[in-house]
Amino acid sequence: MRPTVSWTPSGVGVARTTELTEVVRVVGEGGVVVLSGAGLSTESGIPDYRGADGTLRRHVPMTHQEFVGSEAGRRRYWARSHLGWAAFSRARPNAGHDAVAALQHGGLLSGMITQNVDGLHQAAGARGVVELHGNLGRVVCLDCGHATSRWVLEQRLRAANPTFRAEAIRLNPDGDVDLPEHVVRDFRVVSCSACGDGVLKPDVVFFGDNVPRGRVEECRRLVDDASAVLVLGSSLAVMSGLRFVRHAARAGKPVLIINQGETRGDVHALVRVDRPLGSALTELADRLGQRVAR
């Protein structure tokens, strides 16, 4: 399976604007759930999948089916991800993450859901973030379920591949880099240190996999308890995030979107602000009297 680059709009979406007045009004009333996507982290140097320079135009990301079904696929993933981790782990929160944390600390947000796997919301000081697609900083064994830190795995991979060298030219959203096949052919993948031979996988939801049911139910409860949903930097092209926008719309809750470019949820939105996330969210926090820490 290959993830789709775009979609065909099924209805008339809300007109785009650059004005934040309606967003300020709704968020200022409090009780808002944030749903963030890759567009929020691009200013931290992590590319997105479907933006103007989205990597799906040149890069086919790992799928769940290939990872669990192919030893060669796992070797290719871990070689590319091992090389990409150095750059991915150096990413730091940008002004958008800081502004979201300020809104939460100011009591205006009732919940936070992110489709991102980079942990940058938490690094900016946000609390109680539901990581819809998991986190690249964790690793789990598919056989025994043992979980460990990605940093621990990186030490083991370096020890198993002392002569592995390659030049990482371009980082992908899922934390890996593109490498030619001959470079990854001799890469050694390590097994679970707890059970001895279990398959290790990053604790993320690959394309083709399902978000755990308990996590979906937790997000749905957050939306049920919220007064509105604020979508930040997501095209909502995949159902994992779109379903919560649809759920909110069916319940008559306002949906606000700040994103550069059209989204699959525009048809459900009260307003879509088309602006860079860092400056837009900094302005939003400022107009609501929330000091953004830098």
Residue-wise pLDDT tens digits, 162-177: 999 877 667 877 788 8
Residues 234 and 146 in one domain: no
Kindly state whether residues 82 and 101 are assigned to the same domain.
Answer: no
Taking only the tens place, the pLDDT of each residue in 232-267 is 999 998 899 999 999 999 999 999 999 999 999 999
My answer on whether 214 and 291 are in the same domain is yes
Instruction: Note if 268 is an active site residue.
Output: no
Q: Is residue 26 part of a domain?
A: yes
- Is 279 annotated as contributing to ligand binding? no
State yes or no: 144 annotated in a binding site: yes
Same domain? For 146 and 244 the reply is no
Q: Are residues 149 and 11 in the same domain?
A: no
pTM as predicted: 0.91
The mean of the pLDDT values for the chain is 90
DSSP string, 184-202: HTTPPPP--TTTSSPPEEE
> What SS3 state is found at 21?
helix
d(CA 114, CA 292) in angstroms, rounded, equals 20
Closest CA to 24 of 258, 217, 181: 258
Q: Is residue 60 part of a domain?
A: no
The model's confidence at residue 4, banded by pLDDT at 50, 70 and 90, is very low
- List for the chain the helix, strand, coil content (%; round to 5): 40, 15, 45
**Would residue 52 count as lying in a domain?**
no
55 is in an annotated binding site: yes
Query: What's the pLDDT band for 6 if we cut at 50, 70, 90?
Result: low
Q: What is the pLDDT of residue 81?
A: 93
Determine whether the annotation assigns residue 20 to a binding site.
no
Same domain as 36, residue 10 = yes
Q: How confident is the model at residue 5 (pLDDT cuts 50, 70, 90)?
A: very low
Instruction: Give the Cα separation of 160 and 183 in Å (integer).
Output: 15
Please tell me whether 135 is known to bind a ligand: no
**What is the C-alpha separation between 94 and 109, in angstroms, rounded?**
19
Nearest to 78 by CA among 212, 189, 208, 179: 189
| 133, 146, 182, 268: the active-site residue | 133
Place of tokens 């592995």: 164
On whether both 152 and 282 belong to a single domain, the answer is: no
Based on the structure, what is the number of domains in the chain?
2
260 labelled ligand-binding: yes
Pairing assessment for the beta strands 147-149 and 134-141 based on DSSP bridges:
antiparallel
For residues 173 and 81, state if they share a domain. Answer: yes
219 is in an annotated binding site: no
Judge whether 118 lies within some domain.
yes
Domain enclosing residue 16, as ranges? 1-46+93-133+210-294
Residue 28 within a domain:
yes
> Is 49 labeled as ligand-binding?
yes
Note whether residue 250 is domain-resident.
yes
Instruction: Please report, as a single letter, which amino acid is at residue 27.
Output: V
| Statement to judge: residues 100 and 197 lie in one domain | no
pLDDT digits (tens, 9 = 90+) for 11-69: 567 778 999 999 999 999 999 999 999 999 999 999 876 555 544 445 567 899 999 99
Domain boundary among 174, 204, 234: 204
Choose the final residue of a domain: 171, 204, 237. Answer: 204
| Secondary structure (DSSP) of 31-99 | -EEEEE-GGGTGGGT---SSSTT-GGGT----BHHHHHH-HHHHHHHHHHHHHHHHHHHT----HHHHH
18 is in an annotated binding site: no
Rounded-to-integer distance, Cα 212 and Cα 220, Å: 13
